[in-house]
A and B are shown apart, each in its own frame.
Chain A
Amino acid sequence: MSNGPLEIKAISGHAGTVAGRDASRDYEVAKLIDVTTCIGCKACEVACLEWNGYPFRETQFDNTYQTMPDLAWNYYNLIRFNEHVAEDGTFSWLMRKDGCLHCADPGCLRACPADGAIVQYANGIVDFQQENCIGCQYCVTGCPFNIPKFNPETKKVHKCTLCSDRVGAGLEPACIKACPTGCLHFGSKDDMKDLANKRVAQLREHTSHTNAGLYDPAGVGGTHVMYVLHDINHPEAYGGLPKDPQVPLAVRVWKGPLKWLGNLAIAGGIIGAALHYVRYGPKTVESADPEKPAPKEVSK
């Protein structure tokens, strides 16, 4: 992490140029996952558990090599194994490291009602602050990737932190460090996009993966975890990666127009009632009505 404002601009009595002056500084970080070179070794899963201090969970066999069917509150990182038959009948075995994508427009953050429970750092990392989490799980509702997981015992929600604690200290995330094939990369978002585009061009030119592409979905403003996929037209084949993820429309209506309409209606109702009282006041009880015959009184 570069310390922007304290970047040196001029140096007294210094011969030559100022080192690093006017160099481009990227503050946004990204993880790039090149699924075409993933071998499914799960070293990243183990590294994730080790760094975050979680014990290894009980695995759950579901007829694949996958550790368990889904992510868990203390399991941020899961390689999804999918057998895929292409239209031409060829078979492929797809492996994708699943976890939080750290959206530029995070649906979890939009939906969250608790002050300070979700923060987005300037470098793009979206981090949950469990001490402020109230356990409502609105983030689960807001996420288009179905990532946040609830711990029913502590009533807190967890997900991948992109190792914000490591990145803040100038280290790469734990999963990156563990990857033996170089399928995982970490750096500035621009650098990762350049690297991804080179890899995509290589795949398109030198392999049969002519539809290879970079998964950095615009519907959520781009992500800070990106994938190079063999076939960018079928992200669903990689264990349910959505083709065009969006913050759900209902969440946007709920947090947008409905809220303003509701605020106006509540304020209008209270002000209207006050004005009505001043204008018309309370109803009075008629002690007797001379127009109509008096109702029969029941004898005491």
Chain B
Amino acid sequence: MSSGPVSLPGSQAASPGAGRIERYTFRERICHWLTGFAYLYCLFTGLAFYSPYLFWMAVMLGGGSTSRFWHPFLGLVFAAGVIWMHGIWRSDVALSDADRAWIDEVKSYATNRDDQVPAQDRFNGGQKVFYWAMLYGGVLLLLSGLVMWFPEYVPAGLGWIRPLVVLIHSASALVTIGAFIIHIYMGIFVVPGSIPAIVHGFVSRDWARTHHRLWYDRVTRPSAGRE
């Protein structure tokens, strides 16, 4: 399961046609979009609280009080999504030597000299770095956010913790925003086929071979389906 469930083309009714490989299962896609939309809500309402020049985002989402009311709850949904996602992708996102080699060649990857980039497994080094930035950022956001949710329960002697957690919350949010900008840009613009993959689950063989050769080789071995 953790190595990326694959249903081979034609084997199931869900198959969209010959030559396509299932990259993300239904469960993985639901988990991704649940976490993603919760993050987007927290992003827009959080940016509204971050700067007066972005407060219009809160107005668009129903007003400042409404945004403030739902932000922590959607934050919990995001945290739950990340935990669920970690359960699903834990072994797929562990950093390996291949990822370090990828990170060394990140400049070649970014400038589309892909022949110089080492072959990658299910997720490439950049995707894994993004994953870990969101995971650790999410943990910091959750812990600091819980204190910010109920500041009146911070003991009087620990008053200094309140400004500290606000600083941690905004700093870690900014780290996730940086990672998120790249994630969105890569998915929408740089790697065509990513959006259909995360929406419907399938990629073409060529897509899989080009972007994730090790994964492609692994899941297309004749024995793969029986592992």
Contacts and interface: CB of A to CB of B under 8 A. Distances in A.
> Do these two chains really belong together in a complex?
yes
Interface of A: 111, 113-115, 132-138, 140-142, 146, 149-150, 155, 240, 248-251, 253-254, 258-259, 261-263, 265-266, 269-270, 273, 276-277, 280-289, 295-298, 300
16 contacts: A113-B55, A115-B52, A134-B67, A146-B159, A251-B166, A254-B166, A258-B170, A258-B171, A265-B174, A266-B177, A276-B185, A283-B211, A284-B210, A285-B206, A296-B220, A300-B9
B190 interface: yes
Contact of A277 (B177, B182, B185, B205): B185
B48 interface: yes
B155 to A, nearest CB: 11
B209 interface: yes
Contacts of A135: 65, 68-69
A282 B191 contact: yes
Given A134-B67, A286-B210, A146 B192 contact: no
B10 A155 contact: no
Interface in B156-194: 156, 159-160, 162-164, 166-167, 170-171, 174, 177-178, 181-182, 185, 189-193
| Chain B interface category by residue count | 35 or more
Q: Which of B68, B211, B221 has the most CB of A within 10 A?
A: B68
Contacts of B69: 135, 155
B50 A283 contact: no
Contacts of A138: 49, 166
A113 B52 contact: yes
Contact of A140 (B63, B152, B207): B152
A273 B167 CA distance: 27
Interface of B: 8-10, 18, 48-52, 55, 58, 63-65, 67-69, 110-112, 114, 148, 151-152, 156, 159-160, 162-164, 166-167, 170-171, 174, 177-178, 181-182, 185, 189-193, 204-207, 209-211, 213, 216-217, 220-222, 224
A280 B182 contact: no
A248 B164 CA distance: 9
B51 A259 contact: yes
Contact of B191 (A149, A248, A283): A283
A10 to B, nearest CB: 43
Nearest to B217: A295
Contacts of A261: 174
Closest A-B pairs by Cβ, 10 of them: A134-B64, A250-B163, A248-B163, A273-B185, A269-B181, A250-B167, A141-B162, A113-B49, A134-B68, A262-B174
Given A141-B151, A296-B222, A269 B182 contact: yes
B48 A113 contact: yes
A273 B181 contact: yes
B63 to A, nearest CB: 8
Given A262-B174, A282-B191, 6 more contacts: A111-B166, A250-B166, A283-B114, A283-B192, A297-B220, A300-B9
Contacts of B49: 113, 134, 136, 138
B112 A280 contact: yes
B23 to A, nearest CB: 14
B117 to A, nearest CB: 10
Given A141-B166, A249-B163, A254-B167, A273 B182 contact: yes
Contacts of A142: 163
A136 B216 CA distance: 48
B189 A277 contact: yes
Contacts of A269: 177-178, 181-182
B64 A114 contact: yes
A43 B109 CA distance: 74
B220 A287 contact: no
A167 B164 CA distance: 36
